Each structure stands twice: as C-alpha cells, then as structure tokens.
Chain A
C-alpha cells in the first residue's frame, strides 16, 4: 500500500516566510563625505539609499527597516524616530490635520520612511557645530552598531511574541537563553535581521573604537545577523572582519556613482535568497587587530597569555593593562618573536606530532 502514499503532499507547518528587518547604518561623517563631494554627494547617496529602502519594503508587506546615522560625535536614529515630532496618537487625529498636502502618488509606507529619514538627517546636520567637527574626523560606528543591535533584539522578541513563537521568558528560563531564541531551531520562522553599513570613513579614524566594534561584531556573529558592508571610500580593516565573521557581504565600490545598482544587486537579497545566490565575498580579508594600549593597527604584536589582550609593545612594568597579570616578556627587546618558517617545515618532515604549532608553544604551562 505504499506505492501511492501521501508523503509527496506532506507540507511543513508554517506556510509563510517570515519578513526581514534591515538595519542600515549610514556613516555621516562630514569629513569623509566632503572628499566624496565630486563623485557622490551625500544628498545623492541618501536618495539612492531611500530607493533601496523602498525596494526592501516592497519585497514583503511585513518587511521592516531601521536607519541609524553614525555621526562624528554621536550615533542617532533616522528611522524609526524614537521621539516622534508631532503627537501621532493611536487615532491619528492630530496627524491628519497636520498633513495638509498629502501626496497620493507615492505608496504611503515609502513616504513615511522618506520623510522621517530626511527630516531627522537634516536635524542631525543642523545640530552639528564646528566645534563638534574640529579635530574629530572619526565616526561613532560602535555606538551605531549597538543601537542597531538593540533595535534588532527588541523587534525579534516582539515579533516572536506576536507570532506565537517561543516565549522569550521560557527560553531564558532554560538557561541557554539567546542562542535558542535566535539561532537553533526555526531559522525560517524568526524575524530575519541583517545590518548594512554604508561606510565612508577610513580605518585609522575608528581604531580607537576597536574593542566596542569587535564586541558588536561578535554579538552579531552569535545571533546570526550578517553585517553587510558597502564601502564608498577608504578601506576599513575592522569592517572586513565584520562581514567575514558574520558571513555578510563586503563590497568596496570602485565607482561610487553606481551606488544604487550595487545596493540593488548585492545588498537587497535577504538571507533566504542568499542561499541561492553566489555572493560577492572577499577572499583577502584583513585580519589585523588594533592594540589595546595605543589603538594602533598592528601586524604583529604581543598578546597577554591570560586574557589575550593585544599590545603593540610590552606594556609598562610588564603588567597586562587589561587583567593585571604580570607577564614574563623575556629578552625580545620589544621585537616580537616569530618562529622561522623553516623550522616548522622541518618538524613536519620529522613527523614529530603534537607540540609543533607555534600556538601551543606560547601557551602558558606547556
């Protein structure tokens, strides 16, 4: 009786695919945009990004968007506004009267996002004074990432609750809290979140934020949130690592004028579609780190054997700045030791197994 059976019609439970939440972090560093003025002024870039946002919202009725500006002195929300300007209460009584000139030729959700983003961006720019910019050429990437992550977290929980998914309280009670809620099961049934960073600032500017940025990256990695990076100018070390670690897309645009086409082609597909696509990934990721003592980007440095903090030179008094362990730096004369390559080969050739790798040699106690 098994020749004709029902297994072919077997359907899985959920009938609808969950929507995706795209959080865009726009680097609004005026110094960097100034350099780009000739090829792609900020206003034009924003216009392109807005079309991209509309395209994202068009893909699914329930798709969500959030936009954060990473400015020189602070990170700020562009959409959704945390403090709505006029009172738009539940009935919409007030908002109706304020909207005196409705433009019906645009899909409403698109217009709401556009209005808010442009208005908030203008406010942000107006509030930026010369003193803010003076001597400050970096961008608050870490802050922006953190805002994005907290928003994603809130929306994920809210969405799961609305859709009768796992109750977050229950999962936390089990002890294996967030990984359960975000990753383990039901990949298709949770809100699909991803972050897109539109970056213009160079890496040296943001080296002082190395630790918080890396922490955000690791949080994304753990929550399976890809960080896509669209680099318009410069080439940031940490952002390469960010997209590499979170399986996001990294693209450094050679022709910033074509921003929209890049956005539409490479950055629009969500996680589900990406499974079917060959994505532009970077093979030569710059894995360099910044030292903890001077925030310099280092190729080779010192690492505390206890807490793995990185230093560009032996810390003062040979005491780790992070954990305070006294380190026996030895007679390296501030020149980091490297195992000669030849030696390694020889060991392999000898067939000596075990303690051959440089890693295990340097581990304390071995």
Chain B
C-alpha cells in the first residue's frame, strides 16, 4: 500500500493526543531518514551522471582521477565496500556470495548500492563458468581505479606541477579569499545585494557567468534588471559544495551546446578536484578546450590564475573539495565564505542563533548573508556585526511562495548554526542514539507546519482501474500491480485500484483474457 504503516500509527497517536506530539513519532524515524539524507547529499551530480550514455562513461573512466573522484563522491558507503572488495579479485563474485556478505537487515542498503553501481556503469553481472550469476567491475573503471591507488606509468591524470620559477607565491589564505570573493560575488549578483549596501565593491562578473546563470534558470535578465527565479532561491540557500556542483553541471551542459566535448570538460573537472590546494599547476600541456574551461572557472573562483596568459594556475578550495563531503569544505572556506567578513577561519563557521521563541540573531555583516536571511525572516534591527529578527508565519509563507522549501530554510539555518547552538545540543543527553537537534525543534517543526498549510494534498498522476465484474477478476491484476511496484491505492470493497503506470497491468489483463478464453 502507498501509505506506510509508520505514518498510520503516527496518525493514530496524534489523533488522540493532538498535533503537538508529532515530534515523538518523528524522532523514532530519524535514524532511518538519516541515511536517506546522506544519499540525497550527492544526488545532484549523481542524477546528471546517470543520464549520460554508457559510451560517455567508457571514455570518462579512462582517467584514473575520474574513476577516483566518482568512487569517492558518488557512491554510498556500502557500494565503496563492494568496489574495493572486487577490485583486486581475479574472478567475478557470485551474486549469492555478495548477498551472504550483507546482513539480512540491510537488504535495502545493499540493493541501493548495487543499483547505483549499475547506473554508473561500475558494476556489471556476468555468468561464471558454472553458469552462476556473478558481479564484476567494468573494465576501464577498475583498471583506472587500480592505477589511481597504485600509481600509473605516465598518465598526467593528477596534474603536472608548474616547474616555472615563481615570482609571486600565492598562499592558501589568498586563494581562500579569492574563492570567497568570487563566489560571494556570484551569489550577490543573483540575490541583488547591491540594493542592501551600495558601497560594497562588487566583483566584476564576466558575461559568461551571467549567461550561465541565466541558462540554468537561476536568474532572469530583463533589460538591466536581474531577477532571481524560484530555482535561484533554492540554489542560494544550499551549501557551497552543492552549489558548486550545480554550477559545474550547468557548465558542462552549456559546454556541450557550444560544441565542446562534455567528456573532456567533465574529466578536467574531476582532475581539478584531485589537485592539491596551495600548489600551482602547469597550464602549457592543457588542450585548448581545457584552457578555455579554466578561464571560465576562474570567474567563479574555482581556480585562480594571475592573468589569462599566465602559464600556471592554482586550484582553490572550491575545486579541491569537490569530491569531498561538504563538511570538509565547510570549515576553512565556508567559514570565511559565509562568516563575518574579516573573521579568521577558526573553529566553527556558524553565526546564527535561534531561540525557541523564533527570534533569530545573526552575527554577520555580510550583505549577502543578511539578504539571504531576510528571505525568510522579518529582520528588525541591524547593528554593525549583528542583525536580529523573527521567523514568523508570514515571513516563512512569503519565502515558500517564492519557491523556497521549508527544508531549504532549515538546512540553511543548520549549516550556519552558531557553535554555541552546536555545543548546547552536544551537551544534551541523546535520546536512544538520536542526537539532540541543533536547532530548537519547535522552530523547525513550525517552519514545516507553515509550509504544510499550503501543501495540503498529495497528488499522484496515474490510472484508476475500475468496473471489475467480480472480486476474482479484480484481485489478479491488483496483486500483479503490487508486485511490479506500481500500485498506489486499492479498495477491495469498491474493486478499484490506482497505479502509476498502466501498460504492464493492461497487458496483464489482456493476457488473462486471452488465456481465459
């Protein structure tokens, strides 16, 4: 059935005690949802890659750096275990052996891992000599990953250090500052921070950047006006790592449109992600397309070069943490990216405090951050290093009407929560292994409830099967629909059921009719 059991019991509970008990029914689910959240963190680049044809993968996996990056960034934990277990095995691993290896409670995780591996063309099934179905790694991928781990003969997959003597070394701090300025400039351009503080020196964005943002439907340019779109609002509230990926995928898509080879661009991006921060790399051996990509990425602050003619380039932290989880990025860069300007990247990057009475205090003077917060908060006072305001139903509704979701608001608040809030929650006793939440639960729940006010029905497109003459006639196709996983709703009494896809069920009915006669 469509409605999971859990929710039904949740409904019963709440029905009795009232809506406020929702927190209880939710808490028990946290651990499970936790894992789902993990998966969603990688989803955007994953979705894009999945859409690529197999031949593209074949070309991509020629590069050890690409194989390594995809292995690290796109795969869930369990899938990584499978890959590594198979990597140095001579013979394919029988499917039954793999099933035994995974504990019976984790079937879902196993299937998920295997399906992702299949979709990324990393894992394939073959038949062994004894006609047993077995898993094996596909070849350019396995060979490249082995090369990445053991070192290869003479590929330049991990970049060439620049050998030219340096007149001016760029320090890591400089690179972070450059990345911050450029990236904040892009964000500021989208949100239109200039309205907030006219005096701030705005970064000069190239035409390419603006076009890319427009092509990605993140902004709409009408004459001289720049209007952020619904997608754009969602975009600016994401964490930096997700944002960078979003932009890069837009970039790859647009590169294709102007005749650049998307494989070349993609492998170059993965190469960038495996470079070392603070080192300069040689530009002279790059292909013209790669040089062009490099110039475009400079505008976003993903790489740095002194000028376009320079023979070397520096990857910034935005590039080198591409294949990491966002937390690796969050400290040094986001700290300076989002935190109060001039603050050294110390421990903890958060600056927002929320109280249970919905009051919000943000220790920042960054116009970008202030305008982001103002998207969903009624700001009240502004001090040199602090803005205060209150999250209200009105302000959240306004944000939701602009296309921002409650989850985006909450995740924004969460990723910028002040260390004080984190410390507080860490000191709380955990509830059966579920850590105490960082944000006040009343606030996060209320934000969701406010969203729900607008979102009172769930619609599923599909087909209603009805007018069955007998219960027996109804039961067969209904059961079949459930088995192939398209059944959404059914009523035995009315002999009706609702499916998301009708083709197979219709075929089933036809076959049954033919067979019956």
**Using a CB-CB cutoff of 8 Å, which residues 54-68 of chain B contact chain A?**
64-65, 68
Interface contact A55-B149, CB-CB below 8 Å: yes
- Asked if B423 lies at the interface with its beta carbon under 8 angstroms from chain A, I say yes
Nearest chain A residue, comparing its CB with the CB of B6: A7
Nearest chain A residue, comparing its CB with the CB of B157: A105
Interface contact B110-A104, CB-CB below 8 Å: no
Q: Point out the residues of chain B lying under 8 angstroms from A272, CB to CB.
A: 77
- Given A58-B68, A164-B422, is A12 in contact with B10 using a C-beta cutoff of 8 Å? no
Q: Select which of B10, B65, B239 is within 8 A of A107 by beta carbon.
A: B65
**Min distance, Cβ B393 to any Cβ of chain A, angstroms:** 15
A163 to B334, CA, bound (A): 12
A155 to B439, CA, bound (A): 27
- Asked if B356 lies at the interface with its beta carbon under 8 angstroms from chain A, I say no
Tell me what chain B mostly uses at the interface: helix, strand, loop, or mixed.
helix
Interface contact B278-A92, CB-CB below 8 Å: yes
- Asked if B154 lies at the interface with its beta carbon under 8 angstroms from chain A, I say yes
Q: Select which of A12, A55, A265 is within 8 A of B30 by beta carbon.
A: A12
Q: Point out the residues of chain A lying under 8 angstroms from B364, CB to CB.
A: none
Q: Select which of A103, A185, A264 is within 8 A of B426 by beta carbon.
A: A185
Bits for B356-385, please: 1 = Cβ < 8 Å to A, else 0.
000000000000000000000000000000
Q: Point out the residues of chain B lying under 8 angstroms from A10, CB to CB.
A: 26, 29-30, 33, 448
**Using a CB-CB cutoff of 8 Å, which residues 162-195 of chain A contact chain B?**
162-167, 170-171, 174, 184-189
Q: Point out the residues of chain B lying under 8 angstroms from A111, CB to CB.
A: 151
**Min distance, Cβ B49 to any Cβ of chain A, angstroms:** 18
Interface contact B149-A51, CB-CB below 8 Å: yes
Interface contact A107-B158, CB-CB below 8 Å: yes
- Given A11-B407, A105-B157, A273-B81, is A61 in contact with B328 using a C-beta cutoff of 8 Å? yes
Q: Point out the residues of chain A lying under 8 angstroms from B106, CB to CB.
A: 275-277
- Asked if B245 lies at the interface with its beta carbon under 8 angstroms from chain A, I say no
**Min distance, Cβ A243 to any Cβ of chain B, angstroms:** 18
A35 to B234, CA, bound (A): 63
A60 to B153, CA, bound (A): 25
- Asked if A245 lies at the interface with its beta carbon under 8 angstroms from chain B, I say no
Q: Point out the residues of chain A lying under 8 angstroms from B224, CB to CB.
A: none
- Asked if B41 lies at the interface with its beta carbon under 8 angstroms from chain A, I say yes
Q: Select which of A17, A61, A174 is within 8 A of B323 by beta carbon.
A: A61
A113 to B11, CA, bound (A): 55
Interface contact B30-A105, CB-CB below 8 Å: no
| Residues on A facing B (Cβ under 8 Å) | 1-19, 51, 54-55, 58-62, 91-93, 99, 102-111, 161-167, 170-171, 174, 184-189, 260-261, 264-265, 268-270, 272-273, 275-278
Closest 9 CB pairs of A and B: A61-B324, A185-B430, A276-B106, A166-B426, A164-B348, A6-B448, A16-B327, A16-B325, A164-B422
Between-chain CB contacts (< 8 Å), 24 pairs: A2-B10, A2-B11, A4-B458, A7-B26, A10-B448, A11-B37, A12-B37, A62-B324, A91-B169, A105-B154, A106-B158, A107-B158, A163-B327, A163-B348, A165-B426, A166-B423, A170-B423, A184-B429, A185-B426, A185-B430, A265-B85, A269-B81, A277-B78, A278-B100
